[in-house]
Structure 1
Amino acid sequence: MVSTPDTPLIFFWTLSLLLLHRALRMDKTGYWIFSGIAMGLAFDSKYTAVFLPFGLLLFLLLSVSHRRLLTTVWPWLCLMVMILVSAPVIVWNFQHDFASFAFQGSQRMGQLSAFTVKPKFIFGLLGHQLALLMPVLFITLFYGLYILVKRYGKKSAEMPVNDLFLLSFFLPVFLLFILISPLYWVKINWMMPAYISGILWASIYLSEKWFKWQILLSLLVHLGLILEVLFYPIPIRSDDTWVGWEELSEKVLIVKREQHADFVFSADGYKTSAELNLYSEHFIYGRNVLGEPALEFDFLDTDLSKLSGQNGIFIDSDPHFKDIGIEVMMPEKLKGYFEAVRQLPSVIIRRNNRPVRKFLVYFCEGYRPPLQGKYNRPDYQP
C-alpha cells in the first residue's frame, strides 16, 4: 500500500541484530563480516541505521565480559565492511555536495535551533506511538524503564548481557526522539527500529493476561485497517493515502492527450508527482518547474530548458475539498512561468459512489523555465 525506506531498514536492522548477537556469542569471523554487510544495507535503506554501529560500540563499552573485543580486529572489521557496503550512498553524496546527508543532518538540526517548545508535538508523539504499539505494550515499555532506573539507578551491579544488548539498540533511538519531540515533529515511523529490541526486552514485564489483551487489541485494530483498505469508509483528507493514484494517472493522461500538452507537473510537495511517475510511462515533473526546491526532483531530469515554450498540465491536489465543482482559483505561482493559464474541469476520484479525492487541473501555455541551477542545490530549507 505504502512504500517507505522503513521496510528494508527494519528488515536489515533485525538481521543485523541477529548476526551481531551470534557474532558476540560465537566470535566467528563470518558473523562479524555478515553483520557489517547487513548494517551497510540498513544504512543504504535509511540513515537511522547509523544507530547500529553506535549501539554495538555502546554495548562493548558497557559490557564487562565483552569489552575486550574492542582491542581485537573483529568489531572494527565489521564497521569497515558496513562502510564499504554503504559506499553507494556515500559516493552519491560526494558527487552531489552531500545533499541527502545535509537534508537529514544539518538542515533538520537547523530547524531545531529555533528552540521553540511546542507541547502539541510531545502529545502528538505519545499519541501516535500509543496507536502504533497499542496501549498495553507502550505502557509496558515505560514500566520496564521505571524498573530499570529503580534497579540500576544507584547500583553498580552489572546488567544481564542479553538485557544490555537489547537496550543498547533500543534506548539511544527511543530516548533521542523523545528528547527532541518538544522541539520537532517526530514522525510515526522514525522510532520503529528501536522497538525491534525494545519489545523483546520489555516482554519480560508483560504477563500472560496483558499479553492476551495486547493481541486482542492488535487484532481489532488490524481488522479495522483491513476494512478501511477494502471499503474505505473513512476518507483520508490528506495526500498520505493509497487511494486514487492509479485512477488519477489514467485521467491525467486523457487530459494531456485531449489538450495536446507536452508535459505534466505538480507542485504540492512531492507526493502527487511521485505517484504519477509510478504509473505513468512519461516523466512527471515536480515543483522545480516553478523555480522551487523540489527534493528528489532537483536531481531527476533537471534540464528544464528543453521544455521552454511548451504547454503543460498542472495538477494540484485539494485534500480538504468541500465540493466537486470548478473553483476559480488561479495559482499566482503559475503566472510567472507561463504566458497563459486556464483552469480545466477537476479530476474527481470516487469510492462507493462518493467523491473521496479532488485534483485541480490547469492548462499552462508557453513555459518560461527559471534560471538553471538557481534552485537545484542541496542547501535549501524544504
Structure 2
Amino acid sequence: MNKLTESNAARSAAIIILITFVARCFIAAYTGLGIGESYYFRGALNFDLSYFDQPPLFFWLSGISVKIFGLNNFGLRFPAVLLFAGTSWLMFLVTKKIFTAKAGFWAVVTMNLSAVFTVAIACWFQPDAPLMFFWMLATYYIVQLMVSPGAEKSEATRYSRKTWLLWLGVGVSMGFATLSKYHVLFLFAGVFLFVVTNKSQRHWLRHPGPYLAVLITIIMAFPVLWWNAHNGWVSFIFQGSRAGANTEHFKLHFDWFFRSIGGQAAFLLPWIWFPIVRQLYISYKLRKQLLAYSFTFWMAILPIVFFTMVTLWSNLQFHFHWQAPGYMMMFIPLGFAIDKSLSSGDKRARLNCRWVSFSVYFTIITIGVLGTHMVTGFWQWYGPKWIVYQLHKDNNDPTIQGVDYTDIKTRFDKEGWTNNPNVFIGTPRWWLTGKVDWALKGTKDIMVFNSDPRNLAFMVEPKKLLGKDAIIISDQEQQDVNADAKPFFDSVTQLPDINIVRSGRVEYRLQVFYGKNFHVPADKRMDLPLYRQLIGLPPFGK
C-alpha cells in the first residue's frame, strides 16, 4: 500500500471496505446460522408491524432479501453485510469531518478488526447491523450541525435551508434506528447531554429542528407502537425486565459485573478494548476543550455504562454486544490517536505498526480457522480436543451450534413427516425451535412447550393444530418434555435420536418424541403461553 495521505485515505478506506464486504459474503453464504439467527428466521417469512423481542426492520430487510437471493444463509444475512459496509463508510466520513481523513481510515480499519463488529454485527442475521448503520447515519448529519469545523458558530446559520434538511435527515435516520433496536434511546440521550453541556450548542434547545426530528422519529416508530398496543406492550415489558433484578430479593452480583467487563474485552479483542477504554477517558478529559471529544464521549458513555452497571443486579448472561453502539463511537477518536502516533515517527509509531499488524493477522487467521472448523469440523480430527471442549459443558464442541442441523430434514423426509399435513413440530426450548425450524426452512408449523416461547408464540395459531400429531425434538431435556409437552397429547412415545453429523462424524444427538392427538390439557397450565392461547387468552399477561 502507498503511504497514507489525506488525499488517498478515502480510496484506501474504500478498498478495505470492499475487501471485507466480499469476504463477509463468503462467510454469510457458507457458515451455518447461529442459535439467535435461526430463532429469528421465521420472522423474515412472517411480515408484521413489529415483533415480540425486536423492532421489525431487520426482519423486513431479510424478508425482501430472501425473495431475491432465495431462502438460504446468504439471503438472510446479505442485508447485514451490505449495511455494515455502509456503516464503515459512514465511520470514515464522520471521522474525516471532525478529525482527518487519515484518522477516518484507521477508524475503519480498527472497527473491522474488532471481533464483535467484523463478524457478529457485520455478518449475522441480527438487528444490530441496521441499528449501527442508521446510528452512524444520524451521527453523520448531527456532526454537520454541531461538531464539524465552524459548529461553534452554528447559531448564525441555524435557519438556513441546509440546516432544515440536516434535521430532516436526523429525524429519518433516527426513525429507522428506532425500527432497528431499542438502543436508539441512548442516541437521543447522548445528543441531548452533548447539547446541554456545551454552551455553544444550547441554542438548539430553542430551535424547531430537534423537535421536528423527534416528531419524525415517533411517526416512523408507529408500527412498533401499534403492534405493542395491540399485544399488551409485551416487547417493551420483555426488554425492560432484562434490566430488572432477576430475583425477588435485590442482591449485587459482582461476578456478573466482572464477567460483563471481561466479555466486552473478549468480544472487542482485549488489545483493541484497552485502547478504546483509554480513548473514552481521554474524551472525558478533553470534552470541554474540543467539541469532537465531547460529542464522542456523550455518544459512547451511556450504553457502555448502563449495560455494564445493570449486570450488578441483572444476569444478562453473554449479551456482551449490547454496549457495541457506544464502543463504535470510540473508534472515531481511536482512529485519530493511531494517525497521530504513526505520524510521530518515534518508538510509539513502531509499536503501533506492530499492534495493527498483529491485529490484522490475528483476525484473519482466527476467522479462517474458526470458519473452516465450523464448516468442516477439521479440528476434531487434527487439533487438540481440550481446546474445543474446555469451555463447554457435556464435552460438546460449541461450534456445532453454528452448524445447520440438516440431518433433521433428512430424518423428516425418511419418515414421511415433511409432507404430512397432520404433523407439526414442537420443542421444549425457544432456541432449539429455531434450529429445527431453519433445518426445515419453515415448512412446518412449530410450537414451543415452555413458559418462554418469545417471538414464536406469535408465529403460529395453535388452535388450528388441535387434533394433529407432533414430532417433539429435545436437546436431552426429557424431563421438560414430560412436564410441559406430554399433557397436550394422548400419548408421547420416544423414537430413535437424530444424529447431527459433520464431516462424517456424529457430534450431537437430539431426542425425538411422537405426540399423538394435540389437545387442551385437562389440568390448567396458565404458566404456559401455549395453553393460554388454546383457551382464548393472549400468550403473555396475567
- Sort the TM-score into its range (normalised by shorter chain): 0.7 to 0.9
Partner of 1:241: 401
Partner of 1:219: 361
- Residues 198 and 255 from structure 1, CA distance in 2 versus in 1: closer, same or farther, beyond 3 angstroms? farther
Match of 1:345 among 460, 485, 496: 496
1:231 correspondence with 2:373: yes
1:197 correspondence with 2:329: yes
Contact 1:102 1:378 in 2 (8 A): no
Secondary structure in structure 1 of the residue aligned to 2:490 = strand
What is the correspondence of 1:1-382 to structure 2 with a 5 Å cutoff?
1=33, 2-24=124-146, 25=151, 27=158, 28-106=163-241, 108-111=243-246, 114-147=249-282, 151=285, 158-186=288-316, 187-206=319-338, 207-208=341-342, 209-210=351-352, 212-232=354-374, 233=379, 234=388, 237=397, 241-257=401-417, 262-278=422-438, 279-287=440-448, 290=449, 292-302=451-461, 304-318=462-476, 331-369=482-520, 370-371=531-532, 372=534, 376-379=538-541
Give, in angstroms, the shift of residue 379 of structure 1: 3.8
Give, in angstroms, the shift of residue 215 of structure 1: 4.7
Contact 2:407 2:498 in 1 (8 A): no
Give, in angstroms, the shift of residue 144 of structure 1: 3.3
- Residues 147 and 129 from structure 1, CA distance in 2 versus in 1: closer, same or farther, beyond 3 angstroms? same
Residue by residue over 1:22-77, the C-alpha shift from the partner in whole angstroms, topping out at 9 and shown as x without a partner, is 23357511111111111111111110111111111111111111111110101111
AA of the residue aligned to 1:183? W
Give the Cα separation in 2 of the matches to 1:258 and 1:55. Answer: 51
Residue by residue over 1:241-273, the C-alpha shift from the partner in whole angstroms, topping out at 9 and shown as x without a partner, is 320234433433443528957233333432232
Using the TM superposition, name which of 113-122 and 45-54 deviates more. 113-122
Contact 1:141 1:199 in 2 (8 A): yes
Give, in angstroms, the shift of residue 282 of structure 1: 2.4
Contact 1:346 1:359 in 2 (8 A): yes
- Residues 100 and 364 from structure 1, CA distance in 2 versus in 1: closer, same or farther, beyond 3 angstroms? same
Contact 2:408 2:498 in 1 (8 A): yes
- Residues 305 and 145 from structure 1, CA distance in 2 versus in 1: closer, same or farther, beyond 3 angstroms? closer
Secondary structure in structure 1 of the residue aligned to 2:125 = coil
AA of the residue aligned to 1:194? G
Contact 2:300 2:330 in 1 (8 A): yes
Give the Cα separation in 1 of the matches to 2:480 and 2:429. Answer: 18
Using the TM superposition, name which of 131-140 and 338-347 deviates more. 131-140
- Residues 174 and 89 from structure 1, CA distance in 2 versus in 1: closer, same or farther, beyond 3 angstroms? same
- Residues 193 and 262 from structure 1, CA distance in 2 versus in 1: closer, same or farther, beyond 3 angstroms? same
Give the Cα separation in 2 of the matches to 1:189 and 1:86. Answer: 24
Residue by residue over 1:203-227, the C-alpha shift from the partner in whole angstroms, topping out at 9 and shown as x without a partner, is 4445442364145235313422222
TM (norm. structure 1) is 0.84
Contact 2:245 2:313 in 1 (8 A): no
Give the Cα separation in 1 of the matches to 2:399 and 2:427. Answer: 13
Secondary structure in structure 2 of the residue aligned to 1:169 = helix
Secondary structure in structure 1 of the residue aligned to 2:132 = helix
Give the Cα separation in 2 of the matches to 1:189 and 1:242. Answer: 18
- Residues 358 and 167 from structure 1, CA distance in 2 versus in 1: closer, same or farther, beyond 3 angstroms? same
Give, in angstroms, the shift of residue 193 of structure 1: 1.1
- Residues 281 and 158 from structure 1, CA distance in 2 versus in 1: closer, same or farther, beyond 3 angstroms? closer
- Residues 271 and 31 from structure 1, CA distance in 2 versus in 1: closer, same or farther, beyond 3 angstroms? same
- Residues 111 and 281 from structure 1, CA distance in 2 versus in 1: closer, same or farther, beyond 3 angstroms? closer
Contact 2:426 2:470 in 1 (8 A): no
Give, in angstroms, the shift of residue 148 of structure 1: 5.3
Contact 1:247 1:349 in 2 (8 A): yes
Using the TM superposition, name which of 70-79 and 200-209 deviates more. 200-209
Contact 2:424 2:468 in 1 (8 A): no
Percent identity over paired residues: 19
Contact 2:186 2:303 in 1 (8 A): yes
- Residues 285 and 375 from structure 1, CA distance in 2 versus in 1: closer, same or farther, beyond 3 angstroms? farther
The answer for unaligned runs of 5 or more in structure 2 is 1-32, 34-123, 343-350, 380-387, 390-395, 521-530
Contact 2:430 2:452 in 1 (8 A): no
Residue by residue over 1:306-351, the C-alpha shift from the partner in whole angstroms, topping out at 9 and shown as x without a partner, is 22222110011349xxxxxxx9996333321111111111111111
Cα RMSD (Å) of the superposition? 3.0
Give the Cα separation in 1 of the matches to 2:254 and 2:201. Answer: 41
Partner of 2:91: none
Using the TM superposition, name which of 352-361 and 210-219 deviates more. 210-219
Give the Cα separation in 2 of the matches to 1:162 and 1:347. Answer: 57
Secondary structure in structure 1 of the residue aligned to 2:417 = helix
TM (norm. structure 2) is 0.61
**Structure with greater helix percent:** 2
The answer for unaligned runs of 5 or more in structure 1 is 320-326
Give the Cα separation in 2 of the matches to 1:231 and 1:77. Answer: 51
Give the Cα separation in 2 of the matches to 1:95 and 1:197. Answer: 36
Contact 2:428 2:480 in 1 (8 A): no
Secondary structure in structure 2 of the residue aligned to 1:362 = strand
Provide the aligned length of Structure 1 versus Structure 2: 365
